[in-house]
Structure 1
Amino acid sequence: MPAEFAAHDACWMLWPQRPDTWRLGAKPAQQAFVDVATAVSESETVIVGVNDDQYENARYQLPDHIRVVELSSNDAWMRDVGPTFVTHPQHGLAMIDWEFNAWGGLKGGLYFPWDKDRRIRTKIAEMLGVPRFEAGVVLEGGAIHVDGEGTLITTEECLLNPNRNPGMSRTDMERILSAQLGIDKVIWLPRGCYLDETDGHVDNLCCFVAPAEVALSWCDDSSDPQYVICREALEVLEKASDARGRRLNVHRLPQPGPLYIGEDESSGIDRLSSSHPRQPGDRMAASYINFYIGNSVVVMPLLDPAHDDEAREVIQRLFPERRIIGVNAREILLGGGNIHCITQQQPRAPLNVG
């Protein structure tokens, strides 16, 4: 599995419309998705999958150079329902097809059913004409980050959660990750961000920005539960080495907020018994780590005027050769994730395929 900071051929997204996730019929969220797609498209081809009943609306709202394809889904989290792409120097591009149970199935999952989401990987494999390998385990793309050189980072809270793969040990999961992704070492962080409804996806807490370089969401408020979480992660990272024996350089990225759902924001969401409740005053798992690394840009969420500029400066230092584009992303956060969660990179296939 190539690193996200390696070259891409495309970025895949889905179109939001689910009214029990996205407020006001998803209209504010759709604008945010348009902004993200437009920003990423400065760097690479963007393909947006849309349910049939929203095809014309999406085609009208998205710029002409962004591809819009009919690709049915239950919701719009392409990072988690889309494929994990892998490459081979002789055989080119392929994808891993993990099982998906909406972040916990009937034991804490965020909605039901998820039947359309489970077919997305098969459909994309058909569209691209690439091999698809069924992994046989539940895993979402946001639960892992790799350096492209044999190292994977994840959280125990998510990958070892009994609502994903009951009874699976760290050793069992490491064996599967090695076989499917070609990695040699897993760095296990204890848990993800506070109240992250994905059960602790690593892409909201920590990510690789270069070989042996990681960014970590950071909180200096000792009264905030996130304070302990990020220090637990830092302790692991500072003691860890990657698959090539290098010690990790950890860059701290300030945490926004804390941010909470407003009364007006909550009132615009449909209430269904089969979906995750979003109540006024609920804290959201806000993080600047949830950015997308494109070929020539980094698209980051703007979440908190008190911290946006500082976060942008840190990200610019981490990616001096890329242009940093900030997108107002509160509407995406209200749905439970952010920019990294709604995007999935398609790596550039090797040139010497034969």
Structure 2
Amino acid sequence: MEMKGSPSHHKFYMPAEWNLHAQTWMGWPEREDNWREKARPAQRAFVEVAAAISQFEPVTVCASSDQWENARNQLPANVRVLEMSSNDAWFRDTGPTFVVLDKLQTSTENIREIAGIRWTFNSWGGLDGGCFSDWRMDQLIARKILDAERVPQFSHTMVLEGGSIHVDGEGTCITTEECLLHPNRNPGLTKDNIEEELKQYLGVEKVIWLPRGLYGDSDTNGHVDNICCFVRPGVVLLHWVDDESDPQYERSLEAFNVLSKTTDASGRTLQVIPLHAPGPLYSTVEEVGGLVPHDAKPRVANARLAATYVNFYIANGGIVAPAFGDIPRDSAAEKVLQAAFPDREVVMISSAREILLGGGNVHCITQQQPAAFCALPTSPRRIEDGDKVKQAFYDSLLNVSVLLN
């Protein structure tokens, strides 16, 4: 059902990622010009991510007709695989942004109506620096997901990717000027115009603008989910480097200066937790040599990769985060994440470099669908094998998109 007006007009808003999910949506990589060696290493990485998330909540992976059987054979049996065509597998950016309307609140549960936003997608910049020249199938992914779930839909002509925004669910959004104000997105809109649209469609009251994103993140023009994210209202994690000669240092410092001197929509001064960077990491001749050039943005050897631990996913009771094979730094990042999310289990993805080589990481390839119940008296941290009661509850969430129409 197509909804008229903006989400905020109907009292919808985007909930925080740590709210209870009905499921996670993912795509399936197959482009040989963006994923090396016929995408086989990347597919193994996607399987690792999907398997990790499926310990905490249902997962749906969407694969093309040519790849459906391959995906089904590789993915765990508890992961649903749907046939869906796409230009690539970045469902954070091509999938819908889900919003919710709180309909009924009691002492034990909060029942929500779910809707979705279909933004306009132009391959991270269209023909002016975008990642590929044909994005027609990706432009339909949000609609296909919402149609499949029978979720009411809002549409917007503004170009926006899900990785360019983070919200706290209490009225605050963080984004970057480098991305949202880039001329290859919405050249006809001013900063004030874009901020007003974010307020109308995300249901936020305040937008915090960081000047720039991660150094080397040319694919997305500085998505915020690579440099900063909310841990909880009033607290953020910030990608950090100590080396003042590193080109990222200036970017992280300017972000820190903005965050530490601003307040959120509730008037709280933000607490900033540094999450130290891996690397720096660079692409290798072997990795680039495994690509088949065609339509995607060319990859070159010895290019600095946009590696960050901030690009993690918050699942029901879990944190699924990238690891890069640097044991001391990976371990340090895991400890920071565990301290930031003491009630969640941290799972590090050992094959995350393969996702990084394609232009993003764990958060970029996942999209959460909120549950119709945003709070319950008890909620399992992990779906244990053989626990039929817990599994039945999570299975039921797959079939509940909208309550109390």
Bin the TM-score by the shorter chain.
over 0.9
**1:65 maps to which residue?**
78
In the TM superposition, structure 1's runs of 4+ consecutive aligned residues that sit over 6 Å from their partners are none
The one-letter code matched in structure 1 to 2:307 is: A
C-alpha distance in 2 between matches for 1:268 and 1:178: 43
Q: Which runs of 5+ in 1 are unaligned?
A: none
Residue of 372, 380, 394 corresponding to 1:349: 372
What are the within-5 Å matches in structure 2 for residues 167-206 of structure 1?
A: 167-196=188-217, 197-206=219-228
Is the aligned partner of 1:294 residue 2:321? no
Q: Which runs of 5+ in 2 are unaligned?
A: 1-13, 104-111, 375-402
- SS for the counterpart of 2:46 is helix
What are the within-5 Å matches in structure 2 for residues 1-354 of structure 1?
A: 1-90=14-103, 92-196=113-217, 197-272=219-294, 274-303=295-324, 304-328=326-350, 329-350=352-373, 353-354=404-405
CA RMSD of aligned residues (A): 1.0
C-alpha distance in 2 between matches for 1:205 and 1:281: 22
- SS for the counterpart of 1:154 is strand
Deviation at 1:71, TM superposition (A): 1.1
Deviation at 1:181, TM superposition (A): 1.0
> What percent of counterpart residues are identical?
54
- SS for the counterpart of 2:115 is strand
C-alpha distance in 2 between matches for 1:157 and 1:349: 35
C-alpha distance in 2 between matches for 1:160 and 1:15: 30
Deviation at 1:353, TM superposition (A): 2.9
Tell me, yes or no, if the aligned pair for 1:87 and 1:350 is still in contact at 8 Å. Answer: no
- SS for the counterpart of 1:158 is helix
C-alpha distance in 1 between matches for 2:212 and 2:372: 33
The one-letter code matched in structure 2 to 1:214 is: V
Deviation at 1:89, TM superposition (A): 1.6
C-alpha distance in 1 between matches for 2:156 and 2:262: 27
Tell me, yes or no, if the aligned pair for 2:47 and 2:74 is still in contact at 8 Å. Answer: yes
C-alpha distance in 1 between matches for 2:348 and 2:245: 29
C-alpha distance in 2 between matches for 1:350 and 1:306: 39
Tell me, yes or no, if the aligned pair for 2:20 and 2:373 is still in contact at 8 Å. Answer: no
C-alpha distance in 1 between matches for 2:84 and 2:372: 23
Deviations 1:63-120 (A, max 9, x none): 1100000111100000000000000123700001100000000000001200000011
- SS for the counterpart of 2:251 is helix
Deviation at 1:20, TM superposition (A): 0.6
The one-letter code matched in structure 1 to 2:300 is: Q
C-alpha distance in 1 between matches for 2:373 and 2:87: 33
Deviation at 1:350, TM superposition (A): 4.4
The one-letter code matched in structure 2 to 1:9 is: A
Deviations 1:231-280 (A, max 9, x none): 000000001100010110000001000100011101001112x3211111
The one-letter code matched in structure 2 to 1:237 is: L
Count of residues in Structure 1 that have an aligned counterpart in Structure 2:
353
The one-letter code matched in structure 2 to 1:49 is: C
C-alpha distance in 2 between matches for 1:141 and 1:228: 25
Tell me, yes or no, if the aligned pair for 1:152 and 1:186 is still in contact at 8 Å. Answer: yes
C-alpha distance in 1 between matches for 2:80 and 2:188: 42
TM-score normalized by structure 2? Answer: 0.86
The one-letter code matched in structure 2 to 1:330 is: R
The one-letter code matched in structure 2 to 1:16 is: P
C-alpha distance in 1 between matches for 2:210 and 2:230: 13
TM-score normalized by structure 1? Answer: 0.98
Tell me, yes or no, if the aligned pair for 1:160 and 1:170 is still in contact at 8 Å. Answer: yes
Deviations 1:172-200 (A, max 9, x none): 01111111111000000000000102000
Tell me, yes or no, if the aligned pair for 1:88 and 1:350 is still in contact at 8 Å. Answer: no
C-alpha distance in 1 between matches for 2:287 and 2:81: 29
Deviation at 1:298, TM superposition (A): 0.3
